[in-house]
Amino acid sequence: MAVVTDIYITVSLCVIFRSSQASFKATQTLLNQLTVYAINRGTLTATIQFLHFATYLATYRHFSFIWMVFHIPGSKVYVNAVLAALNIRCKLRDLGSLSDQSSLRFVDSEDFSSQFLALQPLPSSQSVTASATV
């Protein structure tokens, strides 16, 4: 079931990324890169799970633990796939900002609030206002 689930997740991500048609070239490039990463992750995890299953079926009658060669690193492969997806965000941000200078850039929440909003002191009516600076 793990192999089927990995394949299902990979195909679903590819369909979602491919169905999202973007008018900006930078966004389309980003979606293409995400599709490639999803396929690579899905192929790796499905292969590990399939090898785990195949070695288990081949050795379960002999009380051999060769299947553990793929069972133990299986969870580590999943964790590394998630961490790689989180770490690739910086590269994809740089790719988006370098490919098209006129496109929108990614802005962190702290960066946005400190550069674009000037908070004013509270008026006597205790309401909070913010004015945008250019």
pLDDT at 98: 57
Q: Mean pLDDT throughout 43-61?
A: 88
pLDDT tens-place string over residues 94-134? 766 655 444 444 444 454 444 444 444 545 554 444 444 44
Q: What percent of the chain has pLDDT over 70?
A: 70
Which residue stretches of 68-130 are H helix? 68-99, 109-116
pLDDT at 129: 47
| Mean of all residue pLDDT scores within the chain | 74
Q: Which helix (H) or strand (E) holds 118?
A: strand 117-119
Q: H or E stretch including 3?
A: helix 2-19
Q: Per-residue pLDDT for 4 more than 50?
A: yes
Q: What is the mean pLDDT of residues 35-40?
A: 89
**Per-domain boundaries in the chain:** 2-107
Nearest Cα to 14, choosing from 43, 44, 34?
A: 34
Q: 67 versus 43: which is more confidently predicted?
A: 43
pLDDT of residue 124: 55
13, 29, 32, 104, 128 from 19: Cα distances, Å = 10, 14, 11, 21, 41
CB burial of residue 80 (10 Å; 0-12, 13-18, 19+)? middle
Nearest to 66 by CA among 51, 79, 77: 51
Tens of pLDDT, residues 16-26: 988 887 778 87
The answer on pLDDT for 45 being more than 80 is yes
| C-beta separation of 33 from 95 below 8 A | yes
